[in-house]
Amino acid sequence: MPKPAKKISGRDILAGFVNAITNIPDSMANAVLAGVNPIHGLYALLAGTPVASMTTSSSFLTVVVTAAMALAVGDALSGIAEADRASALVALAVMIGVVKIALGLLKGDTMLRFVSNAVMRGFLTGVALSIVINQFPEFFGVSSDASNKVLAAIDIITHPLQIHLGTALVGVATIALILATERTQIKRFATPLALIVVTAVVAILGMDVRAVSDIAEIPRALPSLQLPTVSLLLNMALPAVAVALIGVIQGAGVSKSTPNPDGRYPSIARDFIGQGLGNVTSGLFGGMPVGGSVSSTAINVQAGAASRWANFTIGPVIALVLLLFAGGVELIPMASLAAVLVVVGIRAIDVPRILAVWHASLPTGVVMVVTFVSTLFMPVHFAVMLGAGLSLVQYVYSSSLDVRVVRLKRDSEGRFAEVPAPEELADLGITVLDIYGSIFYAGADSIERMLPDPAGSEAPVVIMRLRGRVDVGSTFIGVLRRYRIAVLAVDGRFMIAGVGEELRDQMERTGFLDALGRENVFDATPVLTESLSEALKAAEQWEDTDE
């Protein structure tokens, strides 16, 4: 594990204080988004964030409660009775931590390569819009009996006479103050200042709006250790995987863009482990699941953080807030917390990136839209699984299209030039073929259709160059077997050049090496085209002998 800086600096304390104050309203709002007591968001900052700060590879990665994870947590807990939700939350956070630790130990960061940008953009956009529309009941002070969050939002905005004007005014005022304060020199404190001002005005005027105290009590004490039951841990295993994926994807994006003080970029796998330990600790002390936050990490760096101690400082600041200001926290209007999430959600909708994916190609645009719609109408953890599946399907489909078979033709000076592969093999001639793209099962079928047809030719020689291929898969081996038989059927010869050690072993294990004949396999050497030249020489000698 990474070693913390030897001592904390004034810059770290200031950065940690700034980040803690800005995360207090966000963590509470995200807890409400998940359908649990806002105190669970504060407990996450108090317990999970400091542990993650000391155990991630990244010195600046801020691990807090994120809106995307909170939305997924809410879906995971939606079928659980309110009285049991806190216990389920503990189990879920611990299981998410276990999954993240396992992903880190197993170098699971490599799997992120298979989650396409189209899926991620559709998912993040769907999450952003879901965050916004989920706030309509609290923001407008009216509920809906609609079965789906989208239909509920439509129901609310199409019945404006039901809106509670006082509640809506509080929400609009909160957004206005956030936006206005962000234009000043104290923009870093825009959200907490807006909440303080609006809360004070609501209290002074005695406005009849729902506050945090109406849904939960904020204890004037630090959290105690809570151990989840084995049955709850098992019940939370599947949703934990989906929520963990959201967290590691968000965190990986931050890790890739934020170097450590020494200029090196952190290990994403070790960041997974640190996030996992933070989640386990957060859960054991009743906190929400946590993940790497883009915005909080940016605040940490901009506020002058010098080391990982800045993120550690967030915990003690939250402890002081709980012990000294819990009563004030209870006065915060729920409409104000909803307004915070509305701002977060709207800003997360990245229109330029959406358009970039849409204009890239029709398949990527369709994948993005399908993921977006599924995120709106399905539980988020199921949408994550669907998105991962779509990524794999898109990868396989794209790989099957991105293949080419070319002919290598040698000129008078011995150089090889690429020309289009012929549709049919020539009589008594040598054809050298090279392949571009994936040769696994999806691409293998396309390659087989592109190979020159041996039927109708007489005694052709085909040399297939496979330099750089390590594992060709059983489907492609089947293609080679069938093509060899087709060439032999017209009294020809089939040879393979550029065979590496791993490929030769695979051919031997599958029995294809003996079927092909070892004399028809030419091993790759450090010198480019050397094995191909040897194969050509053998082919020319075979032609002379055959004649």
Residue type, 540: E
Domain co-membership, 507 together with 430 = yes
Q: What is the mean pLDDT of the chain?
A: 88
Q: Say yes or no to pLDDT of 24 above 80.
A: yes
3-class DSSP state of 142: coil
pLDDT digits (tens, 9 = 90+) for 117-151: 888 888 889 888 988 998 899 999 998 888 788 88
Q: Which residues pair with 404 in a beta bridge?
A: 436
pLDDT digits (tens, 9 = 90+) for 445-454: 889 999 999 9
Please say whether the beta carbons of 40 and 86 come within 8 A. Answer: yes
How many whole angstroms from its chain centre is CA 488?
49
Tokens of 187: 């923009």
Which tops the pLDDT comparison, 341 or 3? 341
Domain co-membership, 335 together with 415 = no
3-class DSSP state of 419: strand
Domain co-membership, 46 together with 165 = yes
- Ordered DSSP codes for 202-228: HHHHT----BHHHH----SS-----PP
Q: Say yes or no to pLDDT of 272 above 80.
A: yes
Domain boundary among 349, 366, 381: 349
Of 462, 466, 465, 437, residue with least CA distance to 452: 462
Tokens of 212: 């945090």
H/E stretch holding 384 reads helix 380-401
Domain co-membership, 330 together with 456 = no
**Is 168 part of any domain?**
yes
Q: Specify the number of domains making up the chain.
A: 2
Q: Helix-strand-coil percent breakdown of the chain, rounded to 5?
A: 65, 10, 25
**Is 177 part of any domain?**
yes
pLDDT digits (tens, 9 = 90+) for 172-205: 999 999 999 999 988 878 888 998 999 999 999 9
User: Residue 409 and residue 411: Cα distance in Å, rounded?
Assistant: 7
User: Residue 430 and residue 416: Cα distance in Å, rounded?
Assistant: 14
pLDDT digits (tens, 9 = 90+) for 307-330: 999 999 999 999 999 999 988 888
How many whole angstroms from its chain centre is CA 318?
29
- Ordered DSSP codes for 221-237: S-----PPPHHHHHHTH
Pairing of strands 404-410, 416-420: antiparallel
Q: Which letter does DSSP use for residue 498 in this model?
A: E
Domain boundary among 334, 349, 364: 349
**Is 485 part of any domain?**
yes
Domain co-membership, 113 together with 237 = yes
**Is 209 part of any domain?**
yes
Q: Cβ neighbours of residue 413 under 8 Å, at least 6 residues apart?
A: none
φ, ψ of residue 259 to 5 degrees: the values are -75, 160
Domain co-membership, 222 together with 325 = yes
> Residue 9: which pLDDT band, with cuts at 50, 70 and 90?
confident
Q: What is the pLDDT of residue 492?
A: 94
User: Residue 221 and residue 43: Cα distance in Å, rounded?
Assistant: 11
> Residue 299: which pLDDT band, with cuts at 50, 70 and 90?
confident
% of residues, the chain, pLDDT over 90: 50
Q: Say yes or no to pLDDT of 392 above 80.
A: no
Measured CA distances, 162 to 154, 165, 339, 421 (Å)? 13, 9, 19, 70
Q: Say yes or no to pLDDT of 7 above 90.
A: no
User: Residue 13 and residue 22: Cα distance in Å, rounded?
Assistant: 14
> Residue 5: which pLDDT band, with cuts at 50, 70 and 90?
low
H/E stretch holding 155 reads helix 149-157
User: Residue 45 and residue 33: Cα distance in Å, rounded?
Assistant: 16
Q: What is the pLDDT of residue 355?
A: 94
Domain co-membership, 325 together with 414 = no
Sheet containing 521-523, strands listed edge to edge, beginning at the edge strand earlier in sequence: 416-420, 404-410, 430-436, 461-465, 493-499, 521-523
User: Residue 406 and residue 489: Cα distance in Å, rounded?
Assistant: 23
**Which CATH number does the domain housing residue 485 bear?**
3.30.750.24
**Is 355 part of any domain?**
no
**Residues in the chain, total:** 547
Residue type, 168: A
Q: Say yes or no to pLDDT of 546 above 70.
A: no
**Is 342 part of any domain?**
yes
Please say whether the beta carbons of 332 and 37 come within 8 A. Answer: no
pLDDT digits (tens, 9 = 90+) for 66-83: 988 998 899 889 888 888
How many whole angstroms from its chain centre is CA 509?
37
Domain boundary among 305, 327, 349: 349
**Is 360 part of any domain?**
no
**Is 275 part of any domain?**
yes
Domain co-membership, 183 together with 72 = yes
3-class DSSP state of 50: helix
Of 279, 270, 309, 357, residue with least CA distance to 45: 279
Region 160-175 average pLDDT: 93
Q: Cβ neighbours of residue 118 under 8 Å, at least 6 residues apart?
A: 357, 360, 364, 365, 367, 368, 371, 394
Q: What is the pLDDT of residue 514?
A: 93
Domain co-membership, 39 together with 165 = yes
Domain co-membership, 344 together with 408 = no
Tokens of 524: 């790759």
* Half-sphere exposure (Cβ direction) of 88: Cα atoms closer than 13 Å: 22
User: Residue 338 and residue 336: Cα distance in Å, rounded?
Assistant: 5
Domain co-membership, 126 together with 224 = yes
- Ordered DSSP codes for 257-290: H---TTSPPPPHHHHHHHHHHHHHHHHHTTPPP-
Domain co-membership, 23 together with 145 = yes
**Residue range(s) defining the domain that contains residue 124:** 12-349
